[in-house]
Amino acid sequence: MSDTAFSPLVQFAMKQPIISDLIKQPFVSSVLQKSLVQTLLRQPLTYGAYGAIATTGLFAMIYNDRSIFSEKREKVPFAWPLIGSFPTFAHWVTHLHEILGEGFNELDSTTYSLNAFCIPHMIFSIHPANVEHVLKNNFENYIKGPDFSVAMDDLFGHGIFNANGEEWKFQRKTASHVFNVKNFRDQFTDVFIEEIKFMSTNLLDRAAEQNRIRLGFGVHLNSLHEEEKVPFAVAFDEAQKGTFFRMINHYWSVTEPIGTFLAPWLLPNMKAGVKVVDDYARQVIEQRRTEIAEGKTEAKDLLSRFMKASNNEGVPLSNDELRDIVLNFVIAGRDTTAQALSWCFYMLTTHPRVEQFLFNEIQEHITDDLLEDSTALYEVIKSKMIYAHAVFFETLRLYPSVPLNQKYALHDDILPDGTHIKKGDYFVWSPYAQGRSEKTWGPDAKHFRPERWIGDDGDLKRESQGKWPAFHSGPRTCLGQHLATLEALVAIIFLVRKYKFTLCSGQDIHYQISLTLPMKNGLKLSVEKR
């Protein structure tokens, strides 16, 4: 309302005899002239501002521990009036996994409510029984959820990570045929040895001569010839980063276009990234179609299996469906294992005692002959390399490849620790915070100690997936869990046996927040032959 809108009213009042007489009284006049009332009558904009301040104050009193218009919940850490935990998380976003973990310390609890004005309501827990309940025991009540699906859609489409119900079941069943024992014994180990040998002769031997290398397990071996990172890898990293930002910002569909217009250099280039990976996936599909048509390939690999399969409507999969499948399996297999290996070598080079124990075990069980016989090597890795397994699992405890995850509640529920879940809440769990929690892993939780994985009988100790959800839990447990472990162990055994790695000084080693856990600045190691 404008200033002039009030003036006729004031002028009318001044013309009334009683009022004008009153106003002429010196006392009344001075009060009125200086009073707030007159200010408000003459300056409705100021009045509006006072009103806004008063209303904000009122709301701030009501919503003093949560974001405005949200329901009151128990246990909310870092809560600011009206905006909830938003400022704390925005400030610490590059250290998100640590700050989420700090919430548990602040409240001395293993479950809390996350409340910020930019996100849907979340119950955040590192309580093993809660995690197991949501992922396994009450699986049917928790799905990927609308916010998750929309945020993931550009990159992952309807692929297995983003699918629910029948769509998910079909992909899981089709893919699971590839991960059988026979393939492990007869094919996978062979492929891994071949790849690691290629890496050894083409990269590490040469680097050992120059005594320096930047170790990048995330790079496909074919790209080792390239000086720069391959465009696909760069684009895929950007697209994953962008997808993660979408997941943690409920209003991304509004803020992303504005941010891209005003400060494009600050945001991951989602559009360009998705285009590169999309083209790549479609090219792979076309190539495979040609190979199949020419009878050049046996339809046993994952993509060929999906190409031969029909979907739930009995129709062969379209290129769009296959594109989603290719990209979902690339992220599942490429980044997770590669990043785990990078963190593993970081741990080994900073824990010489562990590296020595591992080396001793390798010396005891692995011979040159064994590295030429993949079936025998597979059996030895499975039954004898206890400490190597422990090193890998311990790495994933502190540096889980999927550090943060969420599910959406279809109905009200009560978690094993008594926390109430309401329909539409997100249940969020953090393998990263859980791995470092003293409540879960004891006082030495933050220390790298593979021995915790070995029982009194000298055998590998298995932890429940609720306590160690690095590979998820329940019906959606990682399909590639054993494949990834085998691949990582072949790499670790081969490399530690042949080379001595040393961490180059002066590095800032930290994760980059993304869907998985890449190292922000990579890992520089020097290498020499043993």
Which parts are annotated binding residues for heme?
Answer: 478
Beta strands 499-503 and 523-529 are antiparallel
Cβ proximity to ligand HEM, 63 vs 161, nearer residue: 161
Is residue 274 close enough to count as binding ligand HEM by CB under 6 A?
no
At residue 347, what are phi and psi to the nearest 5 degrees?
-65, -45
Can residue 95 be called a binding residue for ligand HEM (CB under 6 A)? no
Beta bridge partners of 413: 421
CB of 123 to ligand HEM, least distance (A): 17
Name the residue number minimizing CB distance to ligand HEM.
Answer: 480
Phi/psi for 64 (5° steps) reads: -75, -10
Q: How many residues sit close enough to ligand HEM to count as binding (CB under 6 A)?
A: 23
Three-state secondary structure call for residue 88: helix
471 contacts ligand HEM (rule: CB under 6 A): yes
In the complex, what is the shortest distance from the CB of residue 215 to ligand HEM, in angstroms, rounded to a whole number? 16
Report phi then psi at 143, rounded to 5: -120, 180
Q: What H or E segment, with its residue span, contains residue 407?
A: strand 405-409
Candidates 282-290, 421-429, 464-472, 489-497: pick the segment binding ligand HEM (CB under 6 A): 464-472
Which residues, at least 6 apart from 152, have a Cβ–Cβ distance to it below 8 Å? Answer: 144, 161, 162, 243, 246, 247
Min dist CB 177 to ligand HEM, Å, is 12
Of the candidate residues 128, 474, 480, 518, the single one contacting ligand HEM (CB under 6 A)? 480
First to last CA, the chain: 82
Q: Does 126 bind ligand HEM (CB under 6 A)?
A: no
State yes or no: residue 401 binds ligand HEM (CB under 6 A): yes
Q: Is 336 in the site for ligand HEM (CB under 6 A)?
A: yes
We find the least distance from the C-beta atom of residue 392 to ligand HEM, in angstroms, to be: 8
Nearer of residues 80 and 343 to ligand HEM, judged by Cβ: 343
> Would you count residue 155 as binding ligand HEM (CB under 6 A)?
no
Cα separation values, 268 from 260, 404, 510, 513, Å: 9, 19, 18, 12
Q: Report the residue from 111, 130, 269, 337 that binds ligand HEM according to the rule CB under 6 A.
A: 337
Q: Measured from the CB atom, is 244 or 329 closer to ligand HEM? A: 329
Q: Which part of the chain contacts ligand HEM (CB under 6 A), choosing from 8-16, 182-190, 455-463, 475-483?
A: 475-483
Helix pair 336-350, 352-365: axis angle to 10 deg: 110
419 binds ligand HEM (CB under 6 A): no
Q: Which residues pair with 421 in a beta bridge?
A: 413
Q: Residue 182's CB: how many other CB atoms inside 10 A?
A: 7
CB < 8 Å & 24+ apart, contacts of 6-13: 6/41, 6/42, 6/44, 9/41, 10/41, 10/42
Nearer to ligand HEM, 270 or 428 (CB): 428
CB of 86 to ligand HEM, least distance (A): 25
Closest CA to 119 of 81, 70, 159, 169: 70
Measuring CA to CA, how many Å separate 8 from each of 12, 28, 31, 37, 209?
A: 6, 21, 21, 16, 91
Q: Which of residues 204-263 bind ligand HEM (CB under 6 A)?
A: none
What strands lie across the sheet with 523-529, from one edge to the other? 213-215, 523-529, 499-503
492 is a site residue for ligand HEM (CB under 6 A): no
Amino acid letter at 115? N
**Per-residue binding letters, 287-326, with ligand HEM (x by CB under 6 A):** ----------------------------------------
Give the containing element (helix H, strand E) for 122.
Answer: strand 122-125
| Closest separation in Å from C-beta 175 to ligand HEM | 6
Instruction: Rule CB under 6 A: choose which of 332, 344, 385, 415 binds ligand HEM.
Output: 332
Q: Whose Cβ is closer to ligand HEM: residue 99's or residue 178's?
A: 178
Assess 161 for contact with ligand HEM (CB under 6 A). Answer: yes
Question: What's the Cα-to-Cα distance from 514 to each of 103, 178, 299, 402, 404, rounded to whole Å?
Answer: 20, 28, 34, 9, 9
Shortest distance, position 87 Cβ to ligand HEM, whole Å: 28
State yes or no: residue 160 binds ligand HEM (CB under 6 A).
yes
Cβ 43 to ligand HEM shortest distance, Å? 56
Contact status: 170 vs ligand HEM (CB under 6 A) = no
- Does residue 329 touch ligand HEM according to CB under 6 A? yes
Identify the CA nearest to 426 among candidates 407, 441, 398, 399: 407
Q: Which stretch binds ligand HEM (CB under 6 A): 89-97, 197-205, 400-408, 499-507?
A: 400-408
Pick out the residues of the known binding site.
Answer: 478
Residues 6 or more apart whose CB falls under 8 angstroms from that of 261 comprise none
| 374 makes contact with ligand HEM (CB under 6 A) | no
Judged by CB under 6 A, which stretch of 69-77, 330-338, 359-367, 372-380 contacts ligand HEM?
330-338
375: helix, coil or strand?
helix
For residue 82, give both structure tokens.
């009206």
Query: Given the rule CB under 6 A, which residues bind ligand HEM?
Result: 160-161, 172, 175, 329, 332-333, 336-337, 340, 396, 401-402, 405, 470-472, 476, 478-480, 483-484
